[in-house]
Structure 1
């Protein structure tokens, strides 16, 4: 973000008129106040509001049409930024990395879950297995990866979502067996 040079009055007007958009997007994504990262999302949203204002071609405080256009733009920008952050956090939580399987196999209790992991991998389609390998081994973005393999970004995102659902189901089942 460029240095903020607007007056305090303009800043306050922006927050008065558009801060509700941040709360709306948080609610839409089911990010509630009891979420440990709620304040971080809120602060990121406020910064994005200011950044969006700087990027805007027209002043959203000047007219109703400009405000409506800015509101739509801000909603979209917030939604995708927050969704990206959530997705990244989910991937990090699952801890996909190159050594994931090797580390698991060193676990002294690996033999107890080895067949379950093999069952998990059998539930993945061939494309999902390739996507899982990409997730564990690559630093490129989903968009770059999709272009490289000749698929759409949304198709790759859907594969990632399916993998996460299957893995979550596996981990939920496995954690219930441990209890």
Structure 2
């Protein structure tokens, strides 16, 4: 029969002393992860590090009143904080990769006829949201085909690719827009 280990908890009374003693672990881990003080998200990473420090304290299996265990805790907590911060960096990088900026060469639509402005505004909004689900190359193709109304041959010449490549772009855009339409319906 296993004996159940007690999990320790950091109480509010202990928190100030705990962070006074161990906060340097957080700052050391941030330095190791190459996050400078002037990083725009520095304070967020400090808080993530402190949360991981508390998790390390609560999960550390040895008694921290023993001198040897205290030093072991320092290394253990440093690793836990560093890994937690690196995980958060990975999450933010993935999120940034999914968020695609508008292409630099994107030219907004100019409304010539003011009679159907409401409909044009709605169509422009739909068009903009459709662009967000496409890669940069696909956005460029769609702008050339829809906004500039270029033929496949003209797009191929303009972009310096074969017509077969432009047809492949058109196929990928069509597939993504079908997926986009499906997501909108749900």
Q: TM-score, normalised by structure 1?
A: 0.51
- What does residue 30 of structure 1 align with? 34
- 1:61-117: CA deviation from partner (whole Å, max 9, x where unpaired): x122111111111111111111111112112212279x44385355426967786xx
- What does residue 11 of structure 2 align with? 6
Gap change, CA 1:79 and 1:108, over 3 Å in 2: same
SS of residue paired to 1:25 = helix
- What does residue 109 of structure 2 align with? none
- 1:20-55: CA deviation from partner (whole Å, max 9, x where unpaired): 010001011111221111111111111222222111
- What does residue 69 of structure 1 align with? 72
| Structure whose residues are more often helix by fraction | 1
Gap change, CA 1:113 and 1:12, over 3 Å in 2: farther
Count of residues in correspondence between the two structures:
113
Does 2:51 align with 1:41? no
Computed over aligned residues only, the root mean square deviation of the Cα atoms, in angstroms, reads 3.4
Using the alignment, how far apart are the partners of 2:66 and 2:160 within structure 1?
63
Q: Is the 8 A contact 1:53 1:59 kept in 2?
A: no
Using the alignment, how far apart are the partners of 2:144 and 2:41 within structure 1?
34
| Structure 2 stretches lacking a partner, 5+ long | 1-6, 101-132, 146-154, 166-186
Using the alignment, how far apart are the partners of 1:56 and 1:23 within structure 2?
20
Q: Is the 8 A contact 2:49 2:82 kept in 1?
A: no
- What does residue 104 of structure 1 align with? 139
Q: Is the 8 A contact 1:22 1:46 kept in 2?
A: yes
Does 2:91 align with 1:91? no
Q: TM-score, normalised by structure 2?
A: 0.50
